[in-house]
A and B are shown apart, each in its own frame.
Chain A
Amino acid sequence: MGKIRKLTCIVCPRGCDMEIALGDGGKVVSVSGNACKRGAAYAQDECTHPRRTVTSTVRLSDGRVLAVKTESTIPKELIFEVMKEINSTVARSDLKIGDVIIENVSGTGVNVVATANA
Chain B
Amino acid sequence: MNVDLVIIGGGPAGMAAAVAARKSGLEDILILERDEALGGILRQCIHNGFGLHRFGEELTGPEYAYRYEKEVVDLGIPFLTGTTVVDIDKNRRVTAMSAERGIFTIDAKAIILAMGCRERPKGALNIAGTRPAGIYTAGTAQKFVNMKGYMPGKDVVILGSGDIGLIMARRMTLEGAKVHAVCELMPYSGGLARNIEQCLNDFNIPLKLSHTVVDIKGKDRVTGVVIAKVDENRRPIKETEELIPCDTLLLSCGLIPENELTKKAGITLDRVTGGAVVDGSRECDVEGIFACGNVLHVHDLVDYVSEEAEIAGRAAVKYIRGEKLRTNEIRVDVDGKVRYTVPKLISEAEDTKLYFRVGSVMRDVSVVVREGERVLLKKKKQKLAPAEMETVTLTKEMIESIDSGSISISVE
The reply to whether B198 and A10 contact each other, CB–CB distance below 8 Å, is yes
Which residue in B60, B148, B175, B197 is a CB contact (below 8 Å) of A67?
B60
Contact of A52 among B43, B147, B202 (CB under 8 A): B202
A55 within 8 A of B: yes
Determine the chain A residues whose CB is within 8 A of the CB of B300 once the complex forms: 13
In contact, B174 and A79 (Cβ under 8 angstroms): yes
Q: How far is the CB of A87 from chain B (nearest CB, A)?
A: 8
A53 within 8 A of B: yes
B63 at the interface (CB under 8 A from A): yes
Residues of A within 8 A of B47 (CB): 55
Judge if A23 is at the interface, Cβ distance under 8 Å. no
A12: Cβ under 8 A from any B Cβ: yes
Q: Are the CB atoms of A12 and B194 closer together than 8 Å?
A: yes
A76 CA to B170 CA, complexed, in Å: 13
Question: Is there a chain A Cβ closer than 8 Å to B49's Cβ?
Answer: yes
Judge whether B196 and A67 touch: CB under 8 Å. no
Contact-residue bracket for chain A: 20 to 34
Q: B301: CB under 8 A from chain A?
A: yes
Q: In residues 159-208 of chain B, which contact A (Cβ within 8 Å)?
A: 174-175, 192-194, 196-198, 202
A5-62 contacts to B, CB under 8 A, are 7-13, 15, 17, 52-57, 59
Q: Please, how many residues of chain B have a CB less than 8 angstroms from a CB on the other chain? A: 30
Which applies to chain B's interface (DSSP): helix, strand, loop or mixed? helix
- Any B CB within 8 A of the CB of A111: no
Among B46, B52, B194, the residue within 8 A (CB) of A115 is B46
Neighbouring B residues of A80 by C-beta, 8 Å: 174
| Assembled-state Cα–Cα distance A65/B150 (Å) | 10
Q: Is A54 touching B174 in the complex (CB atoms < 8 A)?
A: yes
Q: Is B102 an interface residue (CB 8 A)?
A: no
In angstroms, Cα B198 to Cα A53, docked, is 10
* B146 CB–A CB distance under 8 Å: yes
CB neighbours of A116 from chain B (8 A): 43, 46, 62-63, 66
Say if the beta carbon of B145 comes within 8 Å of chain A: yes
Residue B58 CB within 8 A of the other chain: yes
B123 at the interface (CB under 8 A from A): no
- The CA of A17 and the CA of B388, in the complex, are separated in Å by 14
Q: What are the residues of chain B within 8 A of A115 when measuring CB–CB?
A: 46, 60, 62-63
Confirm or deny: A4 has a beta carbon within 8 angstroms of a beta carbon on chain B.
no
B145 x A10 contact (CB < 8 A)? no
Cα A111 to Cα B197 in complex, Å, equals 25
Contacts of B148 in A (CB 8 A): 65
For residue A92, CB closer than 8 A to chain B, the reply is: no
A101 → B minimal CB distance (Å): 14
A40 to chain B, nearest CB (A): 16
Interface residues of B in 48-70 (CB under 8 A from A): 48-49, 52, 58, 60-63, 66
Query: Contact at A15–B194, with CB atoms within 8 Å?
Result: yes
Which of B174, B175, B193 makes the CB contact (< 8 A) with A15? Answer: B193
- CB of B52 within 8 A of CB of A12, answer yes
A-chain residues with CB within 8 Å of residue B175 when the two chains form the complex:
56, 83, 87
Q: Which chain B residues in 93-146 approach chain A with CB under 8 Å? A: 145-146
In this complex, what residue of B is CB-closest to A57?
B146
Residues of B within 8 A of A55 (CB): 46-48, 60
Asked whether, in the complex, the Cβ of B149 is within 8 Å of the Cβ of A64, the reply is yes
Cα-based distance from A110 to B148 in the complex (angstroms): 26
B residues near A65, Cβ cutoff 8 Å: 146-149
Report the minimal beta-carbon distance from A6 to chain B, rounded to whole angstroms: 11
Beyond the given pairs A12-B194, A56-B174, 4 more chain A to chain B contacts, judged by CB atoms under 8 angstroms and listed by A's residue number, are A67-B60, A68-B46, A76-B202, A80-B174
Closest 4 CB pairs of A and B: A15-B193, A65-B149, A116-B62, A67-B46
Listed A/B pairs (29) with beta-carbon separation below 8 Å: A7-B197, A9-B194, A10-B198, A12-B49, A12-B52, A15-B192, A15-B388, A52-B198, A54-B174, A55-B47, A55-B60, A56-B46, A57-B145, A64-B149, A65-B146, A65-B148, A67-B46, A67-B61, A67-B62, A67-B146, A69-B48, A83-B174, A97-B62, A97-B63, A115-B60, A115-B62, A116-B43, A116-B63, A116-B66
